[in-house]
Structures are given as C-alpha cells and as structure tokens.
Amino acid sequence: MSPQLIVYIRQLWNTREQSRLLKGKELAILPSIENAYLFITDGKIAGYGPMSDLESGKGMQEGLSISSSSPDLQTIDATGQFVLPAWCDSHTHLVFAGSREGEFVDKIRGLSYAGINARGGGILHSAQKLNDMEEEDLFDQAWNRLQELTRLGTGAIEIKSGYGLCVEGELKMLRVIRKLKQRSPLSIKATFLGAHTYPLAHRQVHQGYIDSLVREMLPVIAEERLADYIDVFCEKGFFSAAETETICLAGIRHGLKPKLHVNQLNSIGGIQAGIRLNALSLDHLETLTGEEIGLLGRHSSGSEMVCTLLPTAAFFLRMPFQPARDLIDAGCAVALASDYNPGSSPSGNMNLVIAMSCIGMKMLPEEAINAATLNGSYAMGLGSETGSITVGKRANLIFTKPVPSLAYLPYAFGSNLIDKVMIGGEIVSGQQ
C-alpha cells in the first residue's frame, strides 16, 4: 500500500501521543491540531502535526524523507474538513434475521418491551427467524448492515450472538461474525450472548439451559475461537445476578472476559456481579440507584472497567436516558454504543448516538466524541489499535463535510455530515 499524506486538515481531532482509557473529567478534553497534516504508511498512522512543521521540514523527518523520495506517495487534500478517528461501536447485535416493526407498532398501541418478551415475542421472535434462516442469508443481511455503518463512520465494532438460543443457532451466528471479521476491513470483536433469554422449554426450570450454555456451547466456542467475550442479559424475567455469575465464571474459565447487559429495566444486582467478575464493560445502565453510581465510580478509579451507555435504546423504548452526568461526576469511564438490534435500537448510526447523548444525557460534544471513539475502543479491547489519532494505530478516519464547529456535528443531528471514511488507510466510502 502506498504511503499517504493528508494535508491542510482544518482541524484534526483526538490527537494523543499516548492513548489510555478516559475517566470522569478527562472525557471533556478532546485534543486537536488546527491546519494539520497526517501521514500514513501501511494503513497505520505514522505521523501528524501542524502544516507549518511539514512545510518547514521540522517534526516528521521520516515522513518528509518518504514524501520527497517516494514516487507513489498519495496526497489527500482535506481543506475545510475536520478529520476524526472513526467511531468505535462497542455494543451491537448486528447479526439478526429480519426486522420487528410489528412489535414497534404493538408498543405504540401500549404493550411494553417486557410484556412483548413475556408473551414469547421479542428476542424469542428473532430467535425463531434466525433459526429458520440459512447461514448465507444471515451473512448477507449482516454484511449489508455493516456496509451502511461503514458509510456512517463506524470503523470498529463489537457484535454479539444471542438470537440462536440453541447450540446450532448460536454457532451459526458466531460463524457469521467470524466471516464478517474475515471479509471486512473493520476491526471486529465477537461476544457470546447465549444467555440472552431462556428458550420457551426452559422458561420455568432454568438449569437445563444453563447446562447447555456451559457444557455444550462454551467448549466448542472456545475450541474454535469463535468469541472474544461473554455477555449475559442480567434482568428481571431473564437471567438473575447469581445465574449471570455462574455463566460468566464458566466463560472466564474458557478465556472469555465478561461484557454485560445490566440495569436496563431493573436493578437486580447486576452491577455488583459485574464488579465481582471484573467485567470489561457494564452496558445499558438506564436504571441506577445513587448507591450503584457510587459503587461504579469507586470501582472505576482502580480498574479499566467501562460503563457503556446506549442512548438510542433508551430513546426507542421511551425510557429515561442513562444518567451520564452522574456517572462522569463519579469518575466513571463512559463509552457510547449503538446497541444495534431489531428490538430496542433498530439503528447503528453512531452519529445519532452522539447527538442523542448530547441532547438527552447532556454530554458535551467533546465528551461524546471521546466516549464514541477512544473509550469505545477500550470497551472492546482495541485501545492500542484504534480510537484516537496516535502513531501506530490504524488509519481509521472520518472526514467531515465543511461544518462551522465540532458542536455542529451533534447539533445538526438529522444531516449526514460525513464526506468520506477511511479504514486502515483505504477510502471505503466517499470520493478519493
């Protein structure tokens, strides 16, 4: 791949000599360089700085020598454009079979999300469709969604299983994710969420399904290296905190760190279980007591745990937004993700997620962008690979259309403000 030099970038955002997880007040600081250049070799960031350094020959000696000597150097003019790290969406259910807009209308008519699940709809409805669908068709649908998200600026993504709910179905989903990993230039992580809900046959007596998760699914998943993480939907009517711990401990024995759905609808001990399990991230957090916020803050100060907030899921289910301000004030490392799924967030648009976090959760634009890039990368174990403009990281970049300021991005929430997207040094969307 020929080296690339991006020049005259109006403002280059999230530039960091060293990258690390951002906690509390640190989230509000989004470093940037005005009138900047960015130099890329082998799809990775090799150097960056103010144009004046490039012009005077100061700064990036290595880059300069290559730029003057390499005949195949490609120059990209980014006059008038902002360049940011591509979005890191650390919580999605991107692989699913078909949509559930019928239930969307049922909810308009008065049914609740929990009520739809209780009557055998919701996740079970998606499981039925997924188990009826051929693996190739499931892959094609997921692939098309991933293409759309790439155009919307997503450069790294975590994808969960959880609509199989049986050995064959869960393995089918994880194989589809593996194929996405192989075919897509995006950085992708896979999470095993066999414990998404109990299949109908196990609604009353849970042990049979827990045995299947632990004894049948996990060993194959570990053997075939089909997952990077384990997840459980810890919720009233789904998996209790004790069941969550049992399942996660089995996952940990197979090398899978937990990333958990907790406190979406009820507070049932998921936070405490997640902390005991040393989870990489605790996700959702719509329903939090003051005590739990304090607990998350205290745990965050001595750990790398991420609190992942999913504002489009709260919005779609007409729930109060997650208390981002309280979590940031408590010192937590907040990340933002889309939760893309057919039941509670049928959108994986991270631009919308960012806007909604500013509008509904009162996050500052700088906090939201840090949460959707750098902290999102750490929430899926990709902190050294992506999420900031740092030498050695992948050149996963968003080029914006001309906008008056950074705050304009979440402010003009209905507009597509992305001009082009680069993944690993390749322009994957927009004009070269």
**Are residues 377 and 16 in contact, defined by beta-carbon separation less than 8 angstroms?**
no
Tokens of 306: 């991420």
Residues 86-115 that bind ligand NIG (CB under 6 A): 93
**82 CB contacts (<8 Å, ≥6 apart)?**
9, 10, 11, 12, 13, 399, 400, 403, 406
Based on the shown chain and the rule CB under 6 A, indicate whether residue 307 belongs to the binding site for ligand NIG. Answer: no
Establish if 339 lies at the interface with Fe ion (CB under 5 A): yes
Stretch that binds ligand NIG, among 24-32, 81-89, 342-350, 373-381 (CB under 6 A): 342-350
Distance (Å, rounded) from C-alpha 356 to C-alpha 377? 20
Q: Closest distance between ligand NIG and the C-beta of residue 38, in Å?
A: 35
Q: Does 347 bind ligand NIG (CB under 6 A)?
A: no
Phi/psi of residue 328, each to 5°? -65, -45
Site string for ligand NIG, 124-143 (x = CB under 6 A): --x-----------------
Q: Does 123 bind ligand NIG (CB under 6 A)?
A: yes
Give the residue with the Cβ less far from ligand NIG, 340 or 378: 340
CA 269 – CA 303 distance, rounded (Å): 19
Q: Is 85 in the site for ligand NIG (CB under 6 A)?
A: no
Using CB under 5 A as the binding rule, whether residue 292 contacts Fe ion is answered as no
Can residue 261 be called a binding residue for ligand NIG (CB under 6 A)?
yes
Pick from Fe ion, ligand NIG, none: which does 11 bind, CB < 5 to 8 A by kind?
Answer: none
Question: How many angstroms separate the CA atoms of 368 and 69, rounded?
Answer: 40
User: Is 122 a binder of ligand NIG (CB under 6 A)?
Assistant: yes
264 belongs to the binding site for ligand NIG (CB under 6 A): yes
Residues forming beta bridges with residue 156, ordered by sequence position: 88, 187
Compute the least distance from the CB of residue 341 to Fe ion, in Å.
6
- Rounded to the nearest 10 degrees, the angle between the axes of helix 350-361 and helix 365-372 is 140
Q: How near is the Cβ of 301 to Fe ion at its closest, in Å? A: 26
Q: Does 169 bind ligand NIG (CB under 6 A)?
A: no
Angstrom distance (rounded) from CA 227 to CA 194: 11
- Using the minimum distance from each CB to ligand NIG, give the nearer residue, 159 or 313: 313
List the single partner that 344 binds among ligand NIG, Fe ion, none, CB under 5 to 8 Å by kind.
Answer: ligand NIG
CB closer to ligand NIG out of 185 and 360:
360
Residues contacting 52, CB < 8 A, separation 6+: 35, 58
Closer to ligand NIG at the Cβ: 29 or 105? 105
Among the listed ranges 70-78, 338-346, 366-374, 390-398, the one in contact with ligand NIG (CB under 6 A) is 338-346
| Integer Cα distance of 78 and 11 in angstroms | 9
| 339 or 366: CB nearest Fe ion | 339
* Residue-wise burial string across 202-228, b where 16 or more C-beta atoms lie within 10 A, e elsewhere: beeeeeebbebbbeebbeebbeeebbb
Q: 36 vs 7, 12, 91, 294, 420, CA distance in Å?
A: 7, 6, 32, 41, 17
Question: Nearer to Fe ion by C-beta: 89 or 339?
Answer: 339
342 binds, among Fe ion, ligand NIG, none (CB under 5 to 8 A by kind): ligand NIG
Q: Name the pairing type of β-strands 154-160 and 187-195.
A: parallel
Q: Which residue has the tokens 């699940």?
A: 117
The CB-of-233 to ligand NIG minimum distance in angstroms stands at: 5
274 forms part of the interface with ligand NIG (CB under 6 A): no
Tokens of 105: 């209308």
Applying CB under 6 A, among 92, 212, 308, 344 the residue interacting with ligand NIG is: 344
Q: Which is nearer to Fe ion, 103 or 339 (CB)?
A: 339
Smallest distance from the beta carbon of 42 to ligand NIG, in angstroms?
Answer: 36
Helix (H) or strand (E) holding 139: helix 135-151
Which residues sit at the interface with Fe ion, rule CB under 5 A? 339
